[in-house]
Amino acid sequence: VESWQYFISLSLAQALAATLLAWVFHRYWRVYARPYLGVWSLGFLALSFHLLGSTAAHFMAISGLGAHPIRTPLSLLSLTLAYAHVALILIGVRALELGQPPRRRLLLAAVAVAAVVGTVSVLAFTRDPAAFGARVLMRVGLRDGITGLAYVITALLLLRTAQARQSYGRWLAAMAFAVYGGALTLGAGLMLAETVAGPLLPLIAYQAAFHPVAMLMLGLGLVIWLLEDERARALAARQEAARMSLHDPLTGLANRRHFCATLDRSLERPAQAEARHAVLAIGLDRFQAINNAYGSEVGDRVLVACAARLATSDPHWQLGRLEGDQFALASAAAEGEAPLRLAQRLQSLLDQPYRIGTQDLHVPASIGLALSPEDGQDAERLLNNAQLALRQAKRLGGHGLQFYAPSLNDQARRRLSLQIELRRALAENEFEAMFQPVFRARDGRLAGFEALARWRHPRHGMLAPDRFVQALEEIGLLVELDLLIVERALVQLARWRQDSGEDISVSVNLCARSFQRHDLPERMEAMLRAHGLPPACLAVEITESSALDDPAASRRTLDRLSRHGIRVWLDDFGTGHSSLAQLLRLPVHGLKLDRSFLDPDGDQPRQGALVAATVQLATDLGMQVVAEGVESERQAEFARGRGVALLQGYLFGGALAASEAGLLVSRARQASGRVA
Ligand code: C2E
Ligand code: CA
Ligand code: CA
């Protein structure tokens, strides 16, 4: 009697605990709207009803109502609920892990499986009245065994994630599942053993005492877990809010406040205090018109695309979105031309149309520039001034660039207009080659010419390279000029060689970028072939800095040029700071001594020694030497005396037009004719 009273009161206590948990989870489910809470609530409700049902069935059995027709359906329902409980707990854990509500189909399938297992375990062995032990084993033992195993598996899964996430709630829940599952599995095992071997120790009774304890522990663990989860979410939300308060939600860029704070920090850094800071305010022209015409959704996409372009412009510049269609960039150590160059690069970057859907939208930009310390020493002042300059740029018709300081605008405008003019000049073929003769030192015979670029400006007349080479280089068009001069030079050379039969050559100047083009040797070779010229009559002049810019790549180009038979001169030799040893290791055919070597005001004995040593060194290495800038007979004598092979300078002639150079060629022929 004591035994059944003990069991029934234990079951009722468990049922009460399960109902309590179901209620708690239901409440939380209503508050937090998390699907897994609903699932657990249902799960514990099922457990509670199962316990009530099985207690009732048990009670009926001991009250002599064991054969009552209601007992079988009651057991059936009760066991189905027991299995449904297990399934729902597992589904809830899974839903929590995934952060997603379980599928309706999964829930229905779980209930169906529970019903099948429940039915089978109730109906098994009912035919055989003697198989009482087997029946109990099927109903209670199987239930406890399955539940126990499921709990142990859940415990292991939870323990793993508990460690990974350092969650105390998961840990407690895992322990509860482990205790509960362990007790149930142990009970099922004992029951099996008793069925086989007869009554053992009263352990079954003791293990059952763990059930309500484990259940309360489980409830507590799950609630703590929930709170931890809730706290993590709150934390994430707070971080997101913090991020949002610093960043623009549309483009993800720093907002004005954040931009200013970062810039101020940079301005205050002692190491940077001396450095110049530049702030660029960038505004999209016609953005409002786009917004009006295509709607704000298209406008937003343009802004996002624009932000992405700006983000690729330069990683050293700090980027932000100020308001509406205005962005800003800032950088410390923006010395010299850096801000202007960046601004121009940005403008051409933003000139590209935006492909939105099927349309190409042109949304060019205007830029305002402010520089510290002149235009302000704190972020707010600099930014405001950059925006003032931006407004001015827009007032002047847009697609422009304005400095806050008016004096800088003149310079910038001059440079910009020069660059625009240069593009036009290239397109309209305003560049030409002039030719400076080079003579043999030994007998004064014409050896060839150096082609020098000139710009025949429609208003300013003939302009020398110092007026355009650097600007062309900055806009990346010097390469085009170089190749154009090569072509012009070869046209002339072919004509002169044909007319005179003289073996004269021509050299052309190449900037670093031209020289580093990987297709340069092949292009030159093709041009030579087109004019029917032998490669040895063309030489390229490169400077130390361009040769040593990327020594490995230079060596490759030089080797390929040599293989084609094109000669290479090292120009302005002696003006750089490069290592002589490094230079002389390059496969070049000759050196052009800079005219500073012949400086008449220089220390003559010292220069003489230097030139003599250089010539000696070059000759030993199989190179020829040209003396540049020979302006007087004395200088020519000086160079000749030191073993220089070729002379070039105003003494013999400056840069000549092609026709004048042609006269020199025919005079050379007459001279050689006379000699012959
Ligand atoms: P560079 O290669 O050293 O060319 C020699 C420069 O010295 C030429 O100036 C020439 O007119 C000048 N010169 C010649 N003889 C004398 C002299 O006796 N005394 C003085 N004081 N100067 C003399 P230019 O034509 O103004 O060219 C200047 C520089 O522009 C050239 O220096 C070269 O580096 C560059 N350059 C010229 N044409 C081209 C070109 O087609 N492509 C490239 N990338 N650069 C070029
Ligand atoms: Ca040269
Ligand atoms: Ca030179």
| HEC letters along 337-375 | CHHHHHHHHHHHHHHCCEEECCEEECCCEEEEEEECCCC
pLDDT at 676: 43
- pTM metric for this prediction: 0.53
C-alpha 552 to ligand 2 mean position (Å): 23
pLDDT level of residue 201 (50, 70, 90 thresholds):
low
For residue 649, pLDDT over 70 is answered with: yes
pLDDT digits (tens, 9 = 90+) for 488-516: 999 999 999 999 999 999 999 999 889 88
pLDDT at 141: 85
C-alpha 627 to ligand 2 mean position (Å): 11
Across 343-353, average pLDDT = 87
C-alpha 592 to ligand 3 mean position (Å): 6
Is the torsion defined by CA of 555, 560, 561, 565 positive or negative?
positive
Q: Hunting for tokens 């539940």 — which residue is that? A: 147
628-632-633 Cα angle (round to 5): 110
The Cα 245–Cα 257 span in angstroms is 9
Helix, strand, coil shares, percent, the chain, to 5: 65, 15, 25
pLDDT digits (tens, 9 = 90+) for 567-611: 999 999 888 766 777 777 788 999 999 998 888 787 888 888 888
Tokens of residue 523, six digits: 């292009």
Q: Is 31 exposed, middle or buried (0-12, 13-18, 19+ CB in 10 A)?
A: exposed
The Cα 558–Cα 44 span in angstroms is 83
At 625 the three-state DSSP class reads strand
Q: Which ligand is nearest the CA of 655, by number?
A: 1
pLDDT digits (tens, 9 = 90+) for 286-304: 899 999 999 999 999 999 9
Order of strands across the sheet that contains 365-371: 318-323, 326-331, 278-284, 365-371, 401-403
**Ligand 1 atom closest to Cα of 469?**
45
Look at ligand 1, atom 21, and give the residue with the nearest C-alpha: 629
Q: Which residues of 78-91 are buried (b: 16+ CB within 10 A; e: fewer)?
A: bbbbbbbbbbbbbb
Q: Which residues are annotated as catalytic?
A: 628
Q: Which residues of 591-621 are buried (b: 16+ CB within 10 A; e: fewer)?
A: bbbbbebbeeeeeeeebbebbeebbeebeee
C-alpha 484 to ligand 1 mean position (Å): 16
Phi, psi of 330, rounded to the nearest 5 degrees: -140, 150
Pocket test for ligand 1, best of 436, 487, 509, 514 (most atoms within 8 A of CB): 509
Ligand 1 neighbours by CB, cut-off 6 Å: 436, 452-453, 464-465, 469, 478, 481-482, 485, 509-511, 541, 571-572, 595, 629-631, 649-650, 654-655
Q: Which residues neighbour ligand 3 (ion) by CB within 5 Å?
A: 571-572, 628
pLDDT at 348: 85
What sections of 501-603 are H helices per DSSP?
Answer: 512-515, 520-530, 544-548, 551-564, 580-584
Q: Which of 63-72, 110-119, 373-382, 648-657 reaches the highest mean pLDDT?
A: 648-657
C-alpha 571 to ligand 2 mean position (Å): 6
For residue 618, pLDDT over 70 is answered with: yes
Q: Is residue 325 a contact partner of residue 364, using CB atoms and an 8 Å limit?
A: no
Percentage above 90 pLDDT, the chain? 43
Q: Which ligand is nearest the CA of 626, by number?
A: 3
Higher pLDDT, 345 or 97: 345
For residue 675, pLDDT over 70 is answered with: no
Q: Which ligand is nearest the CA of 463, by number?
A: 1
pLDDT at 578: 67
pLDDT digits (tens, 9 = 90+) for 223-282: 888 788 888 888 888 888 887 788 888 999 999 999 999 999 988 887 655 678 899 999
The Cα 663–Cα 233 span in angstroms is 88
pLDDT level of residue 200 (50, 70, 90 thresholds):
low
Cis peptide before 373 (omega within 30 of 0): yes
Residues pairing with 361 in the sheet: 354
Query: DSSP code of 535?
Result: G
pLDDT digits (tens, 9 = 90+) for 305-319: 999 999 988 888 899
